[in-house]
Chain A
Amino acid sequence: MTNPVIFWLIALVVIVSGLMVVLLKNIVHSALFLVVTFVGVSATYVLLQADFLAAVQILVYAGAVSILLVFGVMLTVRGDIKSSNLFNRHKLSGGVVALALFLIVERIILKTEWVLSKNPAPESTVGPIAEAMLTKFVIPFEVAAILLLVAMVGAILLAKGEGKPQ
């Protein structure tokens, strides 16, 4: 069992950086704090002994998704970037909705009976994934490739536009 201090430190990092994403006024700084949140979440995966998932979290979310976000922001934002992530006039209704969502999720979490596994954590998390992926789940694996292909072609089509410009 790990020291709960480590968990609370990681939780603090995740929560504070998550708040920064919402509260900072410059949306690019928000995106950078989103990277910190992703890294913190991957640290919790390590605490749960899911180290492959942690690596994927850093590789895909902290590495790629955040870059995509920053590029998307830089492409679309016009005007002053220092005030690109402001609050609007719906502070009260937003707060009510957030509180309601929090209460619902909190009720569900407290009502659920969490079944804890008695088995020890697997030694290697990558090996079983590789074996399952390449022997039992062959078709989903290849479908994933086609999905990625479709995503790439679709993105290029959307960005470039169909056909050559006149």
Chain B
Amino acid sequence: MLLEIDNVTKIYPGGIVGVKDISLQIQEGMLGLLGPNGAGKTTLIRMIATLLVPTSGDIRFNGSSVFSSSQVIRETLGYLPQEFGVYPNLTAWEFLDYLAILDGIYDYRSRKKAVEHALETVGLTSVAKSQLKTFSGGMKRRIGIAQTLLKTKHLLIVDEPTAGLDPEERIRFRNLLSEISGDRLVILSTHIVADVETTCNDIIILKKGRVLIRTKPLSLLTDLRGKVWETTISENEFKGLKQKFALITVVRKAEGISCRFLADEKPSIECISVSPTLEDAYVYHVGEIL
């Protein structure tokens, strides 16, 4: 399985750049697509999902252009968009059955099996006969994942799947994605670092429509060793620190302000070097600071 993104540029009407000159080769496994809001993640993902055309360049899956062979690619594509809705008057079972028909599973028995399997995988078998209007946001997201599992899909794309979920649902969702990734090529787009930290073996960080970095999670952490610091300081010292360094976390305590920050070399103030996390690495590269 190979997804090739070849010099892809998308410029929206009005000259707004979605993505610019992106070239990537992605193989099976789980890829985390990170970046701040507006980085171009959704633009790139929608182009891979055949829903948006690039201004120039091409995207190929196993050698076939996803645009000129879009119907063929769609046979093997599972896509969960960022904003995902359901038909409120249908039950979970009916909704998935409907989408299974669209996937081309016409035989009732095969469809029943596929729907039951998808519902079981996302843990919604007990509410299969409930109308979707009664579902919580998290349950609807799980239905979203279930609809990508109806047919054997080799390419799964999930866009901001954990946005708006509570912590428990988010963990459940991450585990679910890890479980189903198997021998598929899964692209997980998110701006929540913790989502990719636990699930992805490959990371791409996008910024302003370009690929900022592509690496393995471990390499990202190794590169940052000795650059993450923690200290507890007074209000006055904090003002100076804020101007000089990229702050990652700030917690006000009785003894002062506890800060975690980035610095290439040990600063002059009293502080200790701590093990970097992926979130630190993300802030380091993207430069989104407090």
* A and B co-occur in one complex: no
